[in-house]
Amino acid sequence: MIKRMLKNEFVKNVLTLMVGTGFAQIIPLLAAPFITRLFTPAEIGVFAFYFSIVIIVGNVAAGRYETSIAIAKTDEDALNLVALSIALSFLVSVISFIVLFVIHWNYSLFDGAISEYWAFAIPLLIWIFSSYKSLSYLAIRNKKFRYISLSSIFESSFRAGTSILFGFLSFGSVGLILGGMFGKTSSLLVLLKSTKKYLRSFKDEVNYSKMALLARRFNKFPKFDLPATLFHTVGDQGVVILIIKLFSEKTAGLFSYTERILITPVSVFSSSFAQVFLQKISKKYHEDELGFKHLVSATFNRFVWYSILPFAVFTYSSKFLVPIIFGPNWVELYKYIWVLSPYIFLVMANAPLGEILYIIGKQEKLLVLKVVFLVLRFSSLIIAYFLDFTPLMSIFLFSIASVISYEINIFIVLRTLKNKQWLTIAFLNLLIISAFVLLYNIL
């Protein structure tokens, strides 16, 4: 049976990405005892703030046309979409530089935590981040999963290694920012190598008229997916910015590092699976719509039922592991891990459903869901601030709001596909409500 599974192309691709992603995620965990002893929670909070800006703008810099690369009908279309995406992201980077130049003379972006001149590196990082996303979709299309794995490993290695080096040199938050720059640049170079064969035909197959035609054909992506992604990314990454402004850099550092710790084991499987799953279901949707719906439904069920126990064990054990691994400055980190665990579990459960509305052309529904996502998460923190909640209880309320937004997302996607997974959804609700009641009593 195992031999038969290993011969299955889908399983092999998932395992390829899992191994690469696993190594890539283990590296930050191995580096964590050094990072948390070399940098304070406040310094990590400033770093998270900096890269939140990069991720927010970088995720929409290409007009979301990069998402269509994997589902384009021909390789020529895919290459033109790559060119369109990279060109748009360059234009947005230039605009970002102008905006930051104006802000530099009128407003303190970092409140004295680091030099304001570091803001001028953000546009370059936006272009690198967005270009990486475009090339990763091209790699997914051409099943270059080994290179996607390698790019993750290179990014983690360079980020961890340079961050530790600059930490020993007492660079503070700037050391972490430089580590992030080196990491993302190295991953982009790896993907450039993997797609070199396809990019060679740019000169022959890419032209402005074809790019303009495809821009109109896939206009739902900038019309609906771009604002939806912007709302989602602001609702996700903008939380760090809001926490810094409402609470403190320390709270932002604890929050961002908690997300990183929890998402690390989750993404070892779910992100690998989702990337390969995207390629498989995109093809399945065009060939067999009924089979497509059944595949999505069955995969969602397996994700929920098979991941509960290992996730619960990992979350509970954090209370004993955090002081040993991260040092005395981070003792209260485990409380943030416990509080955010129900929300992160739903992030994992949602992995098979993440790209479904893109594929079936329901971007308008996705836009509404992302607005709900942003409003619930931001309003929870603002309400907690005005009610004078402690930072931890504020994150507790934020976690509840995040769970509600993800549950709405799961319900809408399954309803759109006319899949009634009432048993799984009822079990999820019971499990999460029980977890929140238990956490409230403990905290």
Query: 172-198: per-residue pLDDT in tens?
Result: 899 999 999 999 999 999 888 877 776
Q: Which of 43-57, 92-106, 420-434 has the lowest mean pLDDT?
A: 420-434
At residue 370, the pLDDT reads 82
CA 246 to CA 244: how far, in whole Å?
A: 6
CA 69 to CA 279: how far, in whole Å?
A: 11
At residue 285, the pLDDT reads 67
Has residue 2 got a pLDDT over 50? no
At residue 381, the pLDDT reads 93
| Most confident region among 137-146, 348-357, 428-437 by mean pLDDT | 137-146
Has residue 143 got a pLDDT over 80? no
Quick one: average pLDDT of 93-113? 84
Q: Which of 155-159, 230-234, 267-271 has the lowest mean pLDDT?
A: 267-271
Give the number of residues written for the chain.
443
CA 254 to CA 334: how far, in whole Å?
A: 10
Quick one: average pLDDT of 408-434? 68
Element (H, E) at 198: helix 196-199
Has residue 7 got a pLDDT over 60? no
Q: Are 340 and 256 in contact (CB under 8 A)?
A: no
At residue 408, the pLDDT reads 85
Has residue 157 got a pLDDT over 80? yes
For CA atoms 111, 114, 115, 116, the dihedral sign is negative
| Most confident region among 123-132, 349-358, 396-405 by mean pLDDT | 123-132
Has residue 1 got a pLDDT over 60? no
**Minimal CA–CA distance to 381: which of 221, 229, 216, 247?**
247
Has residue 339 got a pLDDT over 70? yes
Angle, vertex CA 429, rays to CA 426 and CA 432, nearest 5: 150
Question: What are the distances in angstroms from CA 302 to CA 173, 220, 297, 398?
Answer: 41, 31, 9, 27
For residues 63-100, one letter each, b for 16 or more C-beta atoms within 10 angstroms of the residue's C-beta and e for the rest, the string is bbbbbbbbbbeeebbbbbbbbbbbbbbbebbeebbeeb
Higher-confidence residue of 170 and 261: namely 170
pTM strictly above 0.85: no
- Return the DSSP state at 170: T
At residue 146, the pLDDT reads 81
Q: Which of 142-146, 153-157, 163-167, 370-374 has the lowest mean pLDDT?
A: 142-146
Percent of the chain exceeding pLDDT 90 equals 24
Quick one: average pLDDT of 277-296? 66
Residue 439, classified by CB atoms within 10 Å of its CB into exposed (0-12), middle (13-18) or buried (19+), is middle
Q: Which amino acid is at 217?
A: R
Quick one: average pLDDT of 429-434? 63
Has residue 156 got a pLDDT over 50? yes
- Return the DSSP state at 132: H
Has residue 129 got a pLDDT over 90? yes
Mean pLDDT of the chain: 81
At residue 403, the pLDDT reads 87
Q: How confident is the model at residue 279 (pLDDT cuts 50, 70, 90)?
A: low
**Minimal CA–CA distance to 81: which of 192, 213, 185?**
213
**Minimal CA–CA distance to 170: which of 45, 40, 66, 291?**
40
Quick one: average pLDDT of 343-363? 73
Has residue 200 got a pLDDT over 80? no
At residue 130, the pLDDT reads 94
Quick one: average pLDDT of 426-441? 62
CA 315 to CA 327: how far, in whole Å?
A: 18
At residue 305, the pLDDT reads 73
For CA atoms 132, 136, 139, 141, the dihedral sign is negative
- Cβ neighbours around 6 below 10 Å, total: 10
Q: Are 55 and 130 in contact (CB under 8 A)?
A: no
Q: How confident is the model at residue 119 (pLDDT cuts 50, 70, 90)?
A: confident
- Return the DSSP state at 67: G
Q: How confident is the model at residue 221 (pLDDT cuts 50, 70, 90)?
A: confident
Quick one: average pLDDT of 151-179? 92
